[in-house]
Each structure stands twice: as C-alpha cells, then as structure tokens.
A and B are shown apart, each in its own frame.
Chain A
Amino acid sequence: MASPESAVNGPTMTAGAASKSLRNAFGGVIAFIILVLIGVLAFSIRLFSVIKYESVIHEFDPYFNYRVTQFLSKNGIYDFWNWFDDRTWYPLGRVIGGTVYPGLTLTAGTIWKVVNSLNIPLSVETVCVFTAPIFSAFASWAAYLLTKEVKGPGAGLTAAALLAMVPSYISRSVAGSYDNEAVAIFALVFTFYLYIKTLNTGSLFYATLNALAYFYMVCSWGGYTFIINLIPMHVLLCIVTGRYSSRLYIAYAPLVVLGTLLASLVPVVGFNAVLTSEHFASFLVFIIIHVVALAYYIKGILSPKMFKVAVTLVVSVGLAVCCAVIAILIAVVASSPTKGWSGRSLTLLDPTYASKYIPIIASVSEHQPPTWPSYFMDINVLAFLVPAGIIACFMPLTDSSSFVILYIVTSVYFSGVMVRLMLVLAPAACILSGIALSEAFNVLTRSIKNRKKEKENVEKKPTPSKTEKRLLVLPLEASVIAVLLLVLLGAFYVVFSVQVHCVWAAAEAYSAPSIVLTSHSNDGGLHVFDDFREAYSWLSHNTDVDDKVASWWDYGYQTTAMANRTVLVDNNTWNNTHIATVGTAMSSPEKQAWEIFHSLDVKYVLVVFGGVVGYPSDDINKFLWMVRIGGGVFPHIKEPDYLRDGQYRIDAQATPTMLNCLMYKLSYFRSDFIPIHKTDGKGFDRVRRTEIGKKHFKLTHFEEVFTTHHWMVRIYKLKPQRNRIRGKTKKSKSSRSVSSKRDVRGKRNPWH
C-alpha cells in the first residue's frame, strides 16, 4: 500500500517544487500584463474629452505649446532655438527659444517626426492631443517602479493602478491638455525612481540615468526645483539620522554635478541653475555630504582617540569658516530684492507674498490655495489611505521609505499653497496609498495563513507560535473580517466610488476643452457654444494678417495660435508693465483707451462677454484684476473708483468710472436690447443677475465689427482718427508721426 503511494507522491512533490518556480515566472508575466492593462486604463480613461467633444487642444497654455510644436515641426530644431516671435507682446516680441521649457515640445515633435518617418501621416495636432494620455501611462509605470523599489511589486502595482486614475492627475492630462505637466509628472516620478534605485543599488549606471531623467524634467517643467530641493532634503535627513553610506553618496553627488551641468544647457534655465536661491540647497548639501564622507573616511583610518582630537580641531576651524561663508552668502542673497528667489517660489514659501506684491500671479485661479473639498475631489479616498501608508513606511524605515515620507510631507505643504501643485501631491498620495493597501493585504492574509496552519496544529496539540516575534500577526477572526471588509470596501469603494468618481471626474469635470462649451437643453439635446473658435476663425479669415488685436492676456495664446494675429499680451505674463497698459486701457474711458490702443498700433479689441448666455468667466468678472494690475503701474487707475462701498457692481448703483470704462462699454454695447426673458427688464445680465446700469449708449471711438452667435466674444475695431483730431496732433507737433501715417492709410482703405 505504501509503495504505490510513494510512487504517486514522488512526482507530485517535485511538481510542487517546480510549480513554485513556475508561479514566480507566472507572477512576473501576470505583473507585466497587469502593468500593460494599467497603461491601457491610464490612456483610455483620458480619452473622454475626445469622445465627448473632439480631438482638440484644450484651454490656454496648451495652445501656445501647440503653436510652438507646429513651428518646431515645420522649421526644425535650430530655428526653434532661435525663434523670435513677433506675433506676441507687440511691439516687444518674445524670444521663444530662450523662454520656454522645451521638453514637451521636443517630445511631441520627436514623436511626430518618428511617426511620420514611418509614413504614418498623423497631424501635429493629433500627436499633441494624445501626448498627455501616453505620458500618463508612462507615469503609472514609473510609479510602479518607484513603489516597487520602496515596498515591493504588490505595492507597486496598486500604486500604478491608483495613479492611472487619480482625478487630480487626470485633470491635467486628459487628451488635449497639452501642457508641461503632462510629461513633467512622468519625469518627476521617474527621476525619483532612479534616485531610489541608485540609493538601493549604489550603481553609477543608475546615477547617470538619474541625472539624465533630471535633465528631462528640467526641460519639461519649472517644477524641477521641487526635485532639486527634495532630494537634498532627503540626503540631509539620511545624514542626520546616521544613515550615510557610499550608496547615498553615489545617488547624490553625480546628480548634482551632472544634473546642474545638464540643467544649465536648457536655455530657459541657463545660469539660473547656479545663481538662483532655488538651487542653493543642493549645493549646500553637496558640500555637507563631502564633509561627512571625509569624516567617515578619516574615522576609518584614524584610531578612535586620534579621531576625537581631529574632530575637535576640524569643528572649531570649520565652524569659523562656515560662519564666514554663510555671512557672505546671506549678504549676497539679501542684496537682491527678491532674495534671489523667483516670484512663484517666494509665493510657495510665503503664501501671502503674491497677493501683497504681484497681483499678476495672484490673479491666476490655479495659483490660489485649494479648498478642502478640492482635496477630496482631486485625490478622493487616497486622502484617508495616506496616513496608513506613512505608518507602513515606518515599519521598517528604510532609506527609500523615508524618502517617500519626505515626499508626501513636502507635497502636502506645497499643494496647500497653490491648487496647481495638487498635481505633485497626486503621485505621492498614490504611492503611499498603494503601500498602505498592499501592506494591509499582506498583514491580513499572512495572519490568516499562519492561523490556519496553527489551527491544524491545534487539533493535535496547541503550541505557541514563534512567528509573532518576527511579523505582525493579528488574531484570526479579526484578520478574516478585516480582509473581507477590505475586499468588500475595495470592491464597493474602488469600483463604485473611486472608479465612478474618477471616471465621472474624467468624463464630466475635466474633459471640457474650455473653448467649446455645451449645455443640455430641456428636451435632452446638446447645445454647443463654440463662440471662441467662431471669433478666432473670423479674425483669421477676415482681418489683415498683420493686424494687432488687443485683449486681456488670458486670450493671448489662443489668439496667436488659432487666429494667427499679433497680440499685445499673452498668458506668458513676463512683462507686468505691458499687461498693466492693457489693463489701464480697459479701465479707462473710451477716448483715453483709444489713444493707448492707437499708440500700440492696435486695430481690433476683443472682449469676452458672458452676460447674454450666462458664461461666468468673462472679462467683466475678471475686470477688477485689470484695474488692480493696471493701477499697480499707472497710479491714476484706482480700484476704489470702480467699487461702490467696496462692492463690485455693474447695475445702476455702479460708480460713473465703472459705467464709463471701456470694458463696460464694449461688453454691454447693444446687449441691452436683447429681450432675454419676457418678464425681465431689458438689459439684464445673466451672470451678474442684475439689470445693467447704463443703457442705450453709443460708441464714439470704436465700432462693432463682429459678435459671435451667443455674444460671448465681441470684436471691435478702432475707428479711424477724425480730421479734427488729426489737425490737432499736427499742430501740437507731437511725435505721433507714425500714427498719423497709419491714419492716412486707414482713411484710404478703411475696410481692409
């Protein structure tokens, strides 16, 4: 009886051993397939915007990037570096090659070139639209790698899956939002992965790759300063907690040297890589790590007694030198007005800085601090999992897990200052939540497994298990219930809430391209408001190619990209005075505004007006910022003049300055005649929900040349100068010879 049994048992057991290795192999294959699926998920969840709307570039900044990419693909890389753009910031122009982060553009341009060299005729636009979804798939894979380095492949897969569908990241990377962040998040996570990888392996190969990844990040986004401050912080943390090792040195020193050299190759960074305060932390830590390395080395050669003597000597001398250096450094830094920091960085350190000194930064909605609901909206359940992840990172605390903790802590702070930096928080939150979920599963399943074994043993004889000493094991009942709960919650929460929430967020909240608006009519039909493109299309086809169009800076990028017309100011708000000039013109009475615009060769003025259809982000709602920014440079524009008792209003109670300013007039010209509701009085503004203050006025210096179907964009033309005015300027012999010459031309052919 025994012998046949053994004959049967023998092969099964060898098969069991073989199945173990097979299981490992299968584990690899399954992990690979899961990763591919995560990539597909990350890509496809971002396509709602294309399916619901169309394959089009979104928002404002992406239009600029798109235009740059078009230029790059048409003219090649060298022309791109040397591109002086004369269609924007008229009459100053802008050196695009030297002021733009080229990473995104070069990436999309390269993809376009490769695809076209394979004879797949994709348009530049298509490539640009789909760059962000492709790179979000890459970013989830990078998150897998990073988390795998920290806590193993299980946590990695969870983190990758979470990052693929975290709403905060979706909001910046839906198909069509062709912005720097689209590739930068991938670069950020990948750089961190390579840093951790180097830290874990101590391989110079990975250290070099790390510097290259950092270079790509520098190319892509101004947020690279986050990396170059976070990594030194972590290195410092490791040194302080006595975790210095040669691996740490290899992870850090080449990054600083190579990274800084590479970063200064990017024109927009250039010497800033060594001159501005954002980079000082890295150099300081670079010095410290060398001192520490030296100390460890000396400690190795000297006897303990000698070492003590050496330490006292070095410390006393070193302190003196350090004090001197720091004093010089502080003096140098303090001599510059912004303390060597850029405005945006200062805003991060002092959240009230921008609203006090730079209204132009404060006026951007994405530079505002976020509200609590936006945390829930953007990272959802992850907000609750992150603390668990932090705890998991502490058992045991390794170099890499301490890095992750540092990452989440700093990014939580930054996201609290600027809503836009929620994007940096998202990967950290996903990584920690992935760790938390995976660790919870690990602990609970292990408990069940062990307890079952013990139970079997218990049948024969209860024995105290020694395993508790090594691993955290929970009581069986608790762990079974916990696993069930976790699975159930996972099923309900992940599937219903996270998925539904994320998918909903992807589909509804973040997919709107913002140049096309839709509304559902009562009968369920879809009504499309395509006014922006209507206006840009009209401008591009029916005005002269060299005409100058004035508008508030929000619409600058779109006007240059879609209408191909020269604008005064655009979303690259580099020249505050110029923007203030436009703001002043918009807040001045018609005649003064006409003079300002005329002196800038402006032919058309474009305003966005939502009062007829109830589009809230129109120029009237942005108007106070124009007043503030204009008033910041030209003191005769005073904000209180536009407010009645501190209140911003456009009804009959509004101040005369408000009712006579250009923005009011251009917005409401003729709109007071539209009967919107039978019951409303005429001249009802549907955004402000009031009747407007001044009706039935005429324009003296401007004429309406185009208004879109829903009145959302209105284009006015500067009327040619009247003879009388011309005589005056001649008499006063002012230096307006240019303008009068233009005027003559305008007279001869006013329709062109």
Chain B
Amino acid sequence: MGLGLGVMRTIEFLLLIIAILSAPVLSDLILSKVERRIDLTSQIARIASTIKAENDGSSSVSEILLSIPEVQAKNLAYLTAKLVEGKGKAKTSGVALAVEPANPKGMPPALSFYTMILPKPLANGDSVTLDVLAAFTHSLRPFPEKITQADIQLVVFQDTAHYLSPYPVKVQSLTLKLPDARIESYTKLENTKGLGSEIKYGPYENLPPFSYSPVAIHFEANQAFAVARELVREIEISHWGNVQVTEHYDIVHGGAMSKGEFSRLDYQSKPQIRGASAFKHLVAKLPPRAHSIYYRDAIGNISTSHVRGDSKKTEILIEPRYPLFGGWKTAFTIGYGLPLQDFVFESEGKRFLNFSFGSPMHDLVTDSITLKVVLPEGSKYLSVSTPFVVQQEEEIKMSHLDIFGRPVVVLKKANVVPEHNQFFQVYYQFNALAMLMEPFMLITGIFFLFVTCIIYVHVDLSISKSSASYLAKLQWDDVRATVQQIQNTVNQCLSTHEKLEASLRDLSRTGDVQACKAARKATDGLLKELSKELKPLISFLQSSPPAAHILPKVEELVAKERELQERLMAKHSTIVDSYEKKLGGRETENRVASVQQKIVALRQDIEDLMEYIDEI
C-alpha cells in the first residue's frame, strides 16, 4: 500500500532533484552541523532544526537562506528562527530573527526560499547557531484515503532524510517522533534506526548543497484531526468592564474519509476499536476568570460540555453533537466574557487591547481565521501591532443603541496553528465619558416619552372646537364640576348636622342649655350660607341641557337634605325644649322617636343618592 504512493511521490521528487542539480552554489556559507527533530505526534508536523552555520568565504554574510520544497511550502503555517547564545549546557535561545520570503536568482523553481537576517553580519571564520521551528499543516496524508468505521487511520509523512539546503552541510541527523502506535513502514536508508516510536536517520556527513533523499513514513495516527475550515473570532470591548469573545467554528475531521455504514451499536460497545479514528471532544483553554461561557449552534444550546477552572486557566471540554468520523463536519459557537482589566490597559493616553490571536482549542488547525476586534463607539486613532503578518481591514458594526457604529478592526490569516497563539495589540483612544452616552440616550428617551404623555393629557386635541360633540363634552365637564360642588356643599351640611347632634349629646352630658343654643345659632348661620351657595349651582344645572338626566336626582338630594335639616332642627328644639321644661329622659325620647326614625331614613336616602350620583 505504502509503496504505490511512494513511487508516485518519488517521481515527483526526482523531478525536483533534477531541477536542483542545475542550481549554482550560493555564497561561501557552510552549515557545519544540522540537527532536525520532526514531531509527528499530532496532526501538525513540527520540524525543529538546530543549524550551525560557518562563514567560510572572504566577505561577511548577513543573511542565511532556508529552502523548503514547494510541495511542503504550501502547507507551511509557521516559521521562526532564533539565535542560540552561549555554549554547551548554558545554551539559551535569544533574539528572534526576521524571517522573510526570498526569491534569490538562479535557484531551482521547485523550492521556496526564506531568508533569515542576522542581527550582525557574520565575519569570515565566525559561526552562528540557529533554532528554526517550522510547523506544517495537512502534511500527514491519510493512506488509505477512505476507511470504514472499524479501520484504524494510517497516515503517510514524507520528507527528505538529507537536509535540503543551498549550502553544503558537514554533519547532519534527522529524528522523527511518532505517536505511540503501530508503524506500518518507513523508508530504510543507510544509518536508519527505528527505536520504539522514534525513527532516526543519520548522521550523514559532507553532503553537497541540495542533497536530497526522500523518505516516507506510514504509521497509525488516531489522534484528533480537527480542522477548523473557518473560524471567526469576535472580541467586543465594553468599558463597563467586560470583554466578550464569540468564536464561530466550522469544524471538519481532516483525516481519512469514512466510508460505508455508521453503526452506533459498534461505536457504543467498542468505541476504542470501532471508532478509533473518530474524535468525540475538543478541549479549549480559555483565559482565567472567563465567565458566562456558552456553547451552542444554529439550532440551540449543546448540553455536552464541561468547564473546569483554576487561577491560571479555564478549561472547557466541548463535545460536538455527534462524534466526528473522517470527513464529517460540524459547526458551533462558543462565547465567554472576560474581565476588562485583564486585557485592556492604558499607556501614554492610549488604551490598548492585549489578546491572543489564535483559537484557544487544543491542537486545532485553522484554515482561515477572521478576527474582529469591536471597539466601543467613539474610539479613535486605531492601530494594530501583530507579531506576524496578517491582512488588515476596518469596518463598522452597529450594535446596541449605536448611532455612529462601533469601529471594528478585522484581521485575517490563513493556515493558523497553536504556535500563532501570541499576543497582538490594538491601540485606540477612547473618552470614558462616551460610555455614558447610551444610558443618557435612554434616560432622555424615557423622559420625553413621559413629557409627551403629560402634554397629551393636558392639551385639547380636538380638531373642531365648534362641533356639537365637543361642546357637549365641555358642558358635561361643567355639569360634573357643578355636581361635585353640590355634593361638597351637601357634605358640609351633613357635617354641620353632626355638630348639632354633638351639641345635643353635650347637653345630655352637661345639661348646659345655653351652650347648646349657641351651637344651634352657629349651625343655623352656617346652614343658611350653605343653602345660599347651593342655589346658583342648582339653577345652573337646571339651565344646562346635558344635566337633564342627573338633575332630578340632584334636586331630590337637595330636597332630602333640606327635609333632614328641618327634622333635625325640630328634634333639636324639642330636646332643648324638654330640657328647659326639665322633662324626664324617657319622655323626651318618646317625643323625639318619630322624628329620629325619619332622620335615620333620610340619612340613608341621602347616602344612597350620593353614591348614585357618584356612579354617574
């Protein structure tokens, strides 16, 4: 199986070698020692090389070229080089070198070149040690390309055993680290050692520039081949204290395509064997103090996730709705809030967001990432600083109660690996007062709503001031006011009656006839005044037509009140009289009884009438 593929690939590489052989030798640099370690334990191939370069020529050298076959170069996601300082055990990786794509003349076409610019030119006879790290995505090719649920997933990795370089290499070696599983086959050259999950090629000595020796390793890889075809991360800053992150994932299992049936029975009973190539969950490492975490997709919440948190990180384990077999896709959204003070800082009058670029998912390859930083409304003078090259745009987003919209910085990059999880900064200026604009808008809005209500209630909005219904309404209002006045007066009368009664009670207690008479006089005067007040009101009611249906009742009320008044007076004079005549209590009562009865009845009637009028 591995052979057929190998043959095809070998032809490809042969063509490449033919091209390479015709290339001229570049400068006088010699690589005295190259150690390469390729880590294949995840779906990302990470090649870490330690290169010791020596200037053997006369002129000083300020750049070193790296060459990568174009087949691999298109999968290159990440490339850095660092200067190693010190010797032996005290080795420390120091300054990072600028790595830029280069296009030197006269080079074979099937190679891509990158140039590392040294901080200071390398003089004749000097040497320098470099650590170069390159990460490749999609370079583990599943073989066979289609497997059933029960099959294990095998992948092929191809590289060259000899370091492909435009410079001659003195000593070199290559180590491949594979996952702890079966190795189907690997190319055996001289000096090849297989040691458990490690394969070692070399050392090889004194090889000319562009030496090439293809190797292919065919091995079992059942780790998650999670590939986010597209990832949109939106980071929204609110100066009220929150940084809201929303990430939309579009995930596919990038391994061998699954074919044939999917048997849930097999998967459930023996998930390790009958679903070895599938992955069930993903792990995301969020910043500490992440809160309000949610995990959902277009059709609602997904309930299978677990969050663990400590002071250093928040770890969230998310299970897609179904296990992903080769080629199966899914899409979901996760979101979380972060405290503002952890990520937004202020320096020299400018604020800046300091946030990590890539996805927080563990071991995820992102084919295309779009990162949107939504700044608060009113932010100005935006600038971005990123540790690597990204495509930049700006747009406007309208959100809660915005008028001008929020400025958005859009960063785009293809082929992103976890190594890209480095901090980038977005600088902007923002006046803290602008924060208060939206609450103020709301308050004003509600204020004006109330003001309009008040105005509406108090303003006469009828179109025709002379229309019959309008006039009728005005008249009716007058009538109601008058009736109200009449009621008030009657009430006053009633209270005066109470006083009269009270004076009677005083009389029975103290026997002070004079005081009682004085009270009588006072009430008489009051009642007269009140009845005088009533007269114009009644006559007004009589004159106004809309009061016609209420008038009889009002008149009845007034009449009843007058009758009550008379009865009371009668009662009063009888009692006072009997006191003056010093008649016994019983006799007095007998004399008053009939009047008293009427009074009670009248009171009741008046009350009923008042209620009735009230209801109108």
Contacts and interface: CB of A to CB of B under 8 A. Distances in A.
A121 interface: yes
Contact of A673 (B265, B327, B495): B265
B362 interface: no
A684 to B, nearest CB: 15
A453 to B, nearest CB: 7
Contact of B321 (A3, A54, A534, A673): A534
Contacts of A1: 506, 515, 519
Interface string B325-342: 001111100000000000
Contacts of B269: 673
A448 to B, nearest CB: 15
Interface in B296-329: 297, 299-304, 321-322, 327-329
A541 B251 CA distance: 10
B600 A751 contact: no
B596 to A, nearest CB: 6
Given A2-B499, A9-B495, A453-B604, A463 B597 contact: yes
A521 to B, nearest CB: 14
Nearest to A711: B264
B492 interface: yes
Given A120-B400, A703-B261, A708 B300 contact: no
Given A537-B297, A670-B265, A119 B402 contact: yes
Nearest to B320: A537
B526 interface: yes
Interface stretch (A11-19, A325-333, A369-377, A598-606): A11-19
Nearest to A529: B303
A41 B398 CA distance: 33
Nearest to A530: B303
Given A562-B299, A705-B261, A17 B487 contact: yes
Given A9-B495, A13-B495, A119-B400, A708 B322 contact: yes
Contact of A2 (B518, B596, B608): B518
Interface residues of B, number: 60
Contacts of B300: 54-56, 515-516, 533
A10 B265 contact: no
Interface size class of A (residues with CB under 8 A): 35 or more
A6 interface: yes
Contact of B301 (A10, A54, A119, A470): A54
Nearest to A470: B608
Interface string A589-620: 00000000000000000000000000000000
A697 B230 CA distance: 42
Contact of A542 (B264, B268, B328, B608): B328
Contact of A5 (B401, B502, B604): B502
Interface string B3-23: 000000000000000000000
A2 B593 contact: no
Interface string A699-717: 0000111111101000000
Contacts, number: 139
B321 A530 contact: yes
B560 to A, nearest CB: 13
Contact of B495 (A3, A10, A533, A711): A10
A539 to B, nearest CB: 11
A118 B330 contact: no
Nearest to A3: B522
B498 interface: yes
A541 B297 CA distance: 12
B596 A460 contact: yes
Given A461-B600, A528-B303, A2 B522 contact: yes
Contact of A119 (B297, B399, B523): B399
B103 interface: no
Given A5-B502, A17-B491, A537 B299 contact: yes
A2 B597 CA distance: 26
Given A2-B522, A5-B502, A10-B492, A120 B401 contact: yes
A485 to B, nearest CB: 27
A119 B263 CA distance: 48
A447 to B, nearest CB: 15
B146 interface: yes
B262 interface: yes
A705 B329 CA distance: 14
Contacts of A6: 496, 499, 522-523, 526
Contact of B600 (A17, A54, A457): A457
B227 to A, nearest CB: 14
A515 B499 CA distance: 76
Given A2-B515, A20-B614, A751 B259 contact: yes
B492 A13 contact: yes
A120 B401 CA distance: 6
Most A-side CB within 10 Å, residue of B303, B487, B494, B601: B303
A515 B302 CA distance: 12
Given A1-B515, A54-B301, A467-B604, A706 B265 contact: no
B606 interface: no
B484 interface: yes
A6 B530 CA distance: 14
Interface in A550-594: 562
A538 interface: yes
A467 B322 contact: no
B257 interface: yes
A21 interface: yes
A703 B329 contact: no
A405 B262 CA distance: 61
Nearest to B510: A1
B260 interface: yes
Contact of B401 (A17, A119, A709): A119
A56 B300 CA distance: 6
A466 interface: yes
Contacts of A13: 491-492, 494-495
A703 B260 contact: yes
Contacts of A538: 321-322, 328
Contact of B262 (A54, A537, A541, A705): A705
A314 interface: no
Contact of B484 (A21, A54, A453, A516): A21
B503 interface: yes
Interface in A528-548: 528, 530, 533-534, 536-538, 541-542
Interface in B139-171: 146
A465 interface: yes
A14 B401 contact: no
B402 to A, nearest CB: 5
Contacts of A528: 303-304
A674 interface: yes
Interface string B480-516: 0000100110011011101100110010000000010
Contacts of A670: 263-265
A536 B488 CA distance: 74
Nearest to B296: A54
B265 A461 contact: no
B503 A2 contact: yes
Contacts of B262: 704-707
Contacts of A467: 604, 608
Given A9-B499, A704-B261, A708-B264, A530 B302 contact: yes
10 contacts: A2-B503, A13-B495, A17-B484, A453-B607, A460-B600, A466-B604, A470-B608, A528-B304, A534-B322, A711-B264
Given A17-B484, A20-B614, A541-B329, 12 more contacts: A2-B522, A2-B523, A6-B526, A9-B495, A13-B495, A14-B492, A21-B484, A119-B399, A457-B604, A461-B597, A541-B330, A562-B299
10 nearest A-B pairs in the assembled complex, by CB-CB distance: A707-B264, A2-B519, A13-B495, A56-B300, A54-B301, A528-B303, A541-B329, A534-B321, A17-B488, A537-B321
Interface of B: 146, 257, 259-265, 268-269, 297, 299-304, 321-322, 327-331, 398-403, 484, 487-488, 491-492, 494-496, 498-499, 502-503, 506, 515, 518-519, 522-523, 526, 593, 596-597, 600-601, 604-605, 607-608, 614
